[in-house]
Amino acid sequence: MTVHDPKLAASSDDTSSGDKIRISEIFGPTVQGEGALIGVPTVFVRTGGCDFRCSWCDTLYAVDPAFRADWKPMSTADVLAAVKKLSGNAPILITLSGGNPAIQPLGKLIELGKKDGFRFAIETQGSIAKDWFADLDFLTISPKPPSSSTDFNPDDLAACINAAQPDGVLSGPEITLKFPVRDEADLMFADHVRKLHPGIPVCLQPVNTTPAEPHPDGMDGVDLDGLTRRYRWLVDEVTKRKWFDVRVLPQWHVHVWGNLRGV
Protein backbone atom coordinates (compact mmCIF):
# COMPACT_ATOMS: atom_id res chain seq x y z
CA MET A 1 0.00 0.00 0.00
CA THR A 2 1.32 3.39 -0.93
CA VAL A 3 0.61 5.74 1.88
CA HIS A 4 0.51 9.44 2.52
CA ASP A 5 4.16 10.24 2.77
CA PRO A 6 5.46 13.58 4.04
CA LYS A 7 8.73 12.78 2.26
CA LEU A 8 6.87 12.78 -1.05
CA ALA A 9 5.57 16.26 -0.30
CA ALA A 10 9.00 17.43 0.77
CA SER A 11 10.78 15.95 -2.19
CA SER A 12 8.25 17.38 -4.59
CA ASP A 13 8.99 20.82 -3.19
CA ASP A 14 12.57 20.84 -4.25
CA THR A 15 12.06 22.35 -7.69
CA SER A 16 10.33 25.42 -6.30
CA SER A 17 12.43 28.08 -4.72
CA GLY A 18 11.31 30.58 -2.15
CA ASP A 19 7.73 31.65 -2.74
CA LYS A 20 7.50 30.35 -6.30
CA ILE A 21 4.45 28.23 -7.10
CA ARG A 22 5.14 25.04 -9.05
CA ILE A 23 2.62 25.03 -11.89
CA SER A 24 1.56 22.03 -13.96
CA GLU A 25 -0.96 23.93 -16.08
CA ILE A 26 -3.18 26.99 -16.07
CA PHE A 27 -6.22 26.71 -18.33
CA GLY A 28 -9.69 28.05 -18.99
CA PRO A 29 -12.06 29.67 -18.84
CA THR A 30 -14.09 26.50 -18.74
CA VAL A 31 -16.59 25.21 -16.17
CA GLN A 32 -15.98 23.20 -13.04
CA GLY A 33 -16.97 19.65 -13.90
CA GLU A 34 -17.56 18.15 -10.47
CA GLY A 35 -18.52 18.79 -6.89
CA ALA A 36 -20.69 21.51 -5.40
CA LEU A 37 -19.52 24.08 -7.96
CA ILE A 38 -20.37 21.90 -10.97
CA GLY A 39 -21.12 24.09 -13.99
CA VAL A 40 -19.55 27.26 -12.58
CA PRO A 41 -17.20 29.11 -14.97
CA THR A 42 -13.64 28.97 -13.72
CA VAL A 43 -9.96 29.11 -14.59
CA PHE A 44 -7.95 26.17 -13.26
CA VAL A 45 -4.53 26.65 -11.70
CA ARG A 46 -3.10 23.14 -11.44
CA THR A 47 0.00 22.79 -9.31
CA GLY A 48 2.60 20.06 -9.67
CA GLY A 49 3.49 17.63 -6.92
CA CYS A 50 1.53 15.48 -4.52
CA ASP A 51 2.03 13.76 -1.18
CA PHE A 52 -0.31 10.95 -2.31
CA ARG A 53 -0.12 8.26 -4.97
CA CYS A 54 -3.71 7.19 -5.52
CA SER A 55 -4.02 3.93 -7.43
CA TRP A 56 -6.54 5.46 -9.87
CA CYS A 57 -5.02 8.95 -10.06
CA ASP A 58 -6.31 10.65 -13.24
CA THR A 59 -3.82 13.54 -13.18
CA LEU A 60 -0.51 11.73 -12.83
CA TYR A 61 1.09 14.43 -14.97
CA ALA A 62 0.63 16.75 -12.00
CA VAL A 63 1.68 14.15 -9.44
CA ASP A 64 4.47 11.92 -10.66
CA PRO A 65 7.97 13.46 -10.46
CA ALA A 66 8.60 11.83 -13.85
CA PHE A 67 6.66 14.82 -15.20
CA ARG A 68 8.62 17.31 -13.13
CA ALA A 69 10.30 18.81 -16.17
CA ASP A 70 6.81 19.96 -17.25
CA TRP A 71 6.24 21.83 -14.01
CA LYS A 72 7.18 25.47 -14.04
CA PRO A 73 8.04 27.49 -10.93
CA MET A 74 6.13 30.76 -11.27
CA SER A 75 5.83 33.84 -9.11
CA THR A 76 2.48 34.82 -7.64
CA ALA A 77 2.35 37.83 -9.95
CA ASP A 78 3.00 35.67 -13.01
CA VAL A 79 0.28 33.18 -12.06
CA LEU A 80 -2.25 35.98 -11.56
CA ALA A 81 -1.20 37.59 -14.83
CA ALA A 82 -1.68 34.28 -16.65
CA VAL A 83 -5.17 33.90 -15.19
CA LYS A 84 -6.10 37.46 -16.12
CA LYS A 85 -4.90 36.90 -19.65
CA LEU A 86 -7.21 33.89 -19.95
CA SER A 87 -10.21 35.63 -18.37
CA GLY A 88 -9.72 38.86 -20.32
CA ASN A 89 -9.07 40.59 -16.98
CA ALA A 90 -12.60 39.81 -15.80
CA PRO A 91 -12.93 38.42 -12.28
CA ILE A 92 -13.73 34.73 -12.31
CA LEU A 93 -13.60 31.79 -9.94
CA ILE A 94 -10.02 30.48 -9.74
CA THR A 95 -9.88 26.77 -8.93
CA LEU A 96 -6.64 25.64 -7.30
CA SER A 97 -6.09 21.99 -8.05
CA GLY A 98 -3.26 19.50 -8.40
CA GLY A 99 -1.60 17.24 -7.42
CA ASN A 100 -2.12 18.62 -3.96
CA PRO A 101 -2.15 22.41 -4.14
CA ALA A 102 -1.87 22.60 -0.35
CA ILE A 103 1.85 21.85 -0.80
CA GLN A 104 2.34 25.16 -2.57
CA PRO A 105 2.68 28.72 -1.23
CA LEU A 106 -0.71 30.02 -2.44
CA GLY A 107 -1.62 32.46 0.35
CA LYS A 108 -0.31 35.51 -1.46
CA LEU A 109 -2.09 34.58 -4.71
CA ILE A 110 -5.41 34.38 -2.88
CA GLU A 111 -4.78 37.69 -1.12
CA LEU A 112 -3.88 39.53 -4.32
CA GLY A 113 -6.55 37.88 -6.47
CA LYS A 114 -9.35 38.70 -4.05
CA LYS A 115 -8.37 42.35 -4.18
CA ASP A 116 -9.12 42.20 -7.90
CA GLY A 117 -12.49 40.51 -7.40
CA PHE A 118 -11.46 36.92 -8.09
CA ARG A 119 -12.93 34.15 -5.98
CA PHE A 120 -10.94 31.08 -4.98
CA ALA A 121 -11.79 27.41 -4.66
CA ILE A 122 -9.37 24.62 -3.84
CA GLU A 123 -9.46 20.87 -4.39
CA THR A 124 -7.29 19.01 -1.90
CA GLN A 125 -7.26 15.62 -0.20
CA GLY A 126 -7.17 16.93 3.35
CA SER A 127 -3.69 15.75 4.26
CA ILE A 128 -1.95 19.12 4.66
CA ALA A 129 -3.51 22.15 6.39
CA LYS A 130 -2.58 25.72 5.62
CA ASP A 131 -3.55 28.97 7.37
CA TRP A 132 -4.62 30.46 4.05
CA PHE A 133 -7.47 27.92 3.78
CA ALA A 134 -9.42 30.49 5.85
CA ASP A 135 -9.13 33.03 3.02
CA LEU A 136 -10.66 30.75 0.37
CA ASP A 137 -14.25 31.08 -0.81
CA PHE A 138 -14.67 27.32 -1.29
CA LEU A 139 -12.70 24.45 0.22
CA THR A 140 -13.34 21.03 -1.27
CA ILE A 141 -11.68 18.22 0.61
CA SER A 142 -11.60 14.76 -0.99
CA PRO A 143 -10.54 12.21 1.60
CA LYS A 144 -9.20 9.29 -0.40
CA PRO A 145 -11.09 6.04 0.14
CA PRO A 146 -9.74 2.47 0.44
CA SER A 147 -9.80 1.88 -3.33
CA SER A 148 -7.14 4.59 -3.72
CA SER A 149 -4.70 2.39 -1.74
CA THR A 150 -3.74 5.31 0.47
CA ASP A 151 -4.12 5.68 4.21
CA PHE A 152 -6.56 8.10 5.79
CA ASN A 153 -5.52 10.22 8.76
CA PRO A 154 -8.52 11.74 10.55
CA ASP A 155 -6.32 14.19 12.44
CA ASP A 156 -5.02 15.67 9.19
CA LEU A 157 -8.58 16.13 7.94
CA ALA A 158 -9.62 17.80 11.20
CA ALA A 159 -6.58 20.09 10.96
CA CYS A 160 -7.65 21.19 7.46
CA ILE A 161 -11.18 21.96 8.59
CA ASN A 162 -9.95 23.82 11.67
CA ALA A 163 -7.47 25.83 9.61
CA ALA A 164 -10.34 26.94 7.37
CA GLN A 165 -12.51 27.96 10.32
CA PRO A 166 -10.21 29.78 12.74
CA ASP A 167 -13.15 31.77 14.12
CA GLY A 168 -15.64 28.92 14.40
CA VAL A 169 -17.88 26.97 12.08
CA LEU A 170 -19.59 30.02 10.62
CA SER A 171 -16.30 31.58 9.50
CA GLY A 172 -14.16 30.79 6.49
CA PRO A 173 -14.98 29.19 3.15
CA GLU A 174 -17.88 26.97 2.20
CA ILE A 175 -16.52 23.49 2.88
CA THR A 176 -17.56 20.34 1.06
CA LEU A 177 -16.39 16.79 1.66
CA LYS A 178 -16.21 15.14 -1.74
CA PHE A 179 -15.72 11.39 -1.80
CA PRO A 180 -14.73 9.42 -4.89
CA VAL A 181 -16.49 6.06 -4.59
CA ARG A 182 -15.65 2.88 -6.46
CA ASP A 183 -17.22 0.21 -4.31
CA GLU A 184 -18.99 -0.73 -1.11
CA ALA A 185 -15.85 -0.28 1.00
CA ASP A 186 -15.45 3.26 -0.33
CA LEU A 187 -19.08 3.96 0.51
CA MET A 188 -18.58 2.78 4.08
CA PHE A 189 -15.48 4.94 4.34
CA ALA A 190 -17.41 8.01 3.18
CA ASP A 191 -20.11 7.32 5.74
CA HIS A 192 -17.56 6.92 8.51
CA VAL A 193 -15.70 10.12 7.66
CA ARG A 194 -18.78 12.30 7.14
CA LYS A 195 -19.98 11.33 10.60
CA LEU A 196 -16.73 12.73 12.03
CA HIS A 197 -17.77 16.14 10.70
CA PRO A 198 -21.54 16.44 10.83
CA GLY A 199 -22.93 19.58 9.24
CA ILE A 200 -20.38 19.71 6.44
CA PRO A 201 -22.08 19.12 3.07
CA VAL A 202 -21.11 15.86 1.35
CA CYS A 203 -20.79 14.95 -2.33
CA LEU A 204 -20.24 11.43 -3.60
CA GLN A 205 -18.93 10.81 -7.10
CA PRO A 206 -18.12 7.68 -9.07
CA VAL A 207 -14.38 7.14 -9.43
CA ASN A 208 -13.00 7.51 -12.91
CA THR A 209 -10.73 4.49 -13.12
CA THR A 210 -9.60 5.26 -16.65
CA PRO A 211 -5.86 5.92 -16.68
CA ALA A 212 -4.87 9.53 -17.22
CA GLU A 213 -3.63 10.97 -20.48
CA PRO A 214 -2.04 10.70 -22.90
CA HIS A 215 -4.89 9.64 -25.15
CA PRO A 216 -4.90 11.29 -28.57
CA ASP A 217 -8.52 12.42 -28.44
CA GLY A 218 -9.08 12.44 -24.73
CA MET A 219 -12.15 10.22 -24.97
CA ASP A 220 -10.18 7.16 -26.03
CA GLY A 221 -10.40 4.50 -23.39
CA VAL A 222 -12.77 6.37 -21.09
CA ASP A 223 -15.44 3.96 -19.92
CA LEU A 224 -18.38 6.37 -19.94
CA ASP A 225 -20.94 3.57 -19.75
CA GLY A 226 -19.15 2.18 -16.72
CA LEU A 227 -19.10 5.61 -15.07
CA THR A 228 -22.81 6.06 -15.73
CA ARG A 229 -23.56 2.59 -14.36
CA ARG A 230 -21.57 3.40 -11.24
CA TYR A 231 -23.50 6.65 -10.89
CA ARG A 232 -26.82 4.75 -11.02
CA TRP A 233 -25.49 2.32 -8.44
CA LEU A 234 -24.48 5.20 -6.18
CA VAL A 235 -27.94 6.79 -6.43
CA ASP A 236 -29.49 3.42 -5.58
CA GLU A 237 -27.22 2.96 -2.56
CA VAL A 238 -27.70 6.50 -1.27
CA THR A 239 -31.49 6.42 -1.58
CA LYS A 240 -31.73 2.89 -0.17
CA ARG A 241 -29.77 4.00 2.89
CA LYS A 242 -31.82 7.21 3.17
CA TRP A 243 -28.73 9.41 3.00
CA PHE A 244 -30.96 12.23 1.82
CA ASP A 245 -28.47 14.91 2.89
CA VAL A 246 -25.75 13.59 0.55
CA ARG A 247 -25.37 14.81 -2.99
CA VAL A 248 -24.46 12.42 -5.81
CA LEU A 249 -22.66 14.10 -8.70
CA PRO A 250 -20.75 12.87 -11.74
CA GLN A 251 -17.35 13.94 -12.96
CA TRP A 252 -19.33 15.62 -15.69
CA HIS A 253 -16.25 16.99 -17.48
CA VAL A 254 -15.17 13.40 -18.21
CA HIS A 255 -18.49 12.80 -19.95
CA VAL A 256 -18.15 16.02 -21.95
CA TRP A 257 -14.45 16.14 -22.72
CA GLY A 258 -13.04 12.75 -21.69
CA ASN A 259 -9.67 12.76 -19.98
CA LEU A 260 -8.51 15.57 -22.22
CA ARG A 261 -6.26 18.13 -20.58
CA GLY A 262 -6.97 21.85 -20.68
CA VAL A 263 -10.76 21.73 -20.50
Which residue number, 41 or 211, has a Cβ lying nearer to its own copies?
41
Amino acid at the residue 167 = D
Residues 21, 92, 129, 207: which binds its own copies (CB under 8 A)?
92
- 84 sits near its own copies (criterion: CB under 8 A): no
Adjacency order of strands within the sheet including 93-97: 72-74, 21-31, 41-47, 93-97, 119-124, 138-141, 174-181, 202-206, 246-248
Provide the minimum distance between the beta carbon of 52 and its own copies in the complex, in angstroms, as a whole number: 25
Residues 93, 128, 160, 187: which binds its own copies (CB under 8 A)?
93
- 233 sits near its own copies (criterion: CB under 8 A): no
- 256 sits near its own copies (criterion: CB under 8 A): yes
Which residue number, 11 or 228, has a Cβ lying nearer to its own copies?
228
Q: Within positions 200 to 229, which residues make up the interface with its own copies, using CB under 8 A?
A: 203, 228
Which residue number, 18 or 198, has a Cβ lying nearer to its own copies?
198
- 248 sits near its own copies (criterion: CB under 8 A): yes
Provide the minimum distance between the beta carbon of 243 and its own copies in the complex, in angstroms, as a whole number: 7
Residues 207, 250, 251, 260: which binds its own copies (CB under 8 A)?
250
Binding part of the chain for its own copies, among 53-61, 68-76, 91-99, 181-189 by CB under 8 A, reads 91-99
- 74 sits near its own copies (criterion: CB under 8 A): no
Provide the minimum distance between the beta carbon of 86 and its own copies in the complex, in angstroms, as a whole number: 9
Three-state SS string across the chain, please? CCCCCHHHHHHCCCCCCCCCEEEEEEEEEEECCCCCCCCCEEEEEEECCCCCCCCCCCCHHHCCHHHHHHCEEECHHHHHHHHHHHHCCCCCEEEEECCCHHHCCCHHHHHHHHHCCCEEEEEECCCCCCHHHHHCCEEEECCCCHHHCCCCCHHHHHHHHHHHCCCCCCCCCEEEEEEEECCHHHHHHHHHHHHHCCCCCEEEEECCCCCCCCCCCCCCCCCHHHHHHHHHHHHHHHHHCCCCCEEECCCHHHHHHCCCCCC
- 238 sits near its own copies (criterion: CB under 8 A): yes
Q: Within positions 37 to 56, which residues make up the interface with its own copies, using CB under 8 A?
A: 38-41
The site for its own copies (CB under 8 A) is made up of: 28-31, 38-41, 87-88, 90-93, 203, 228, 231-232, 235, 238-239, 242-250, 252, 255-257
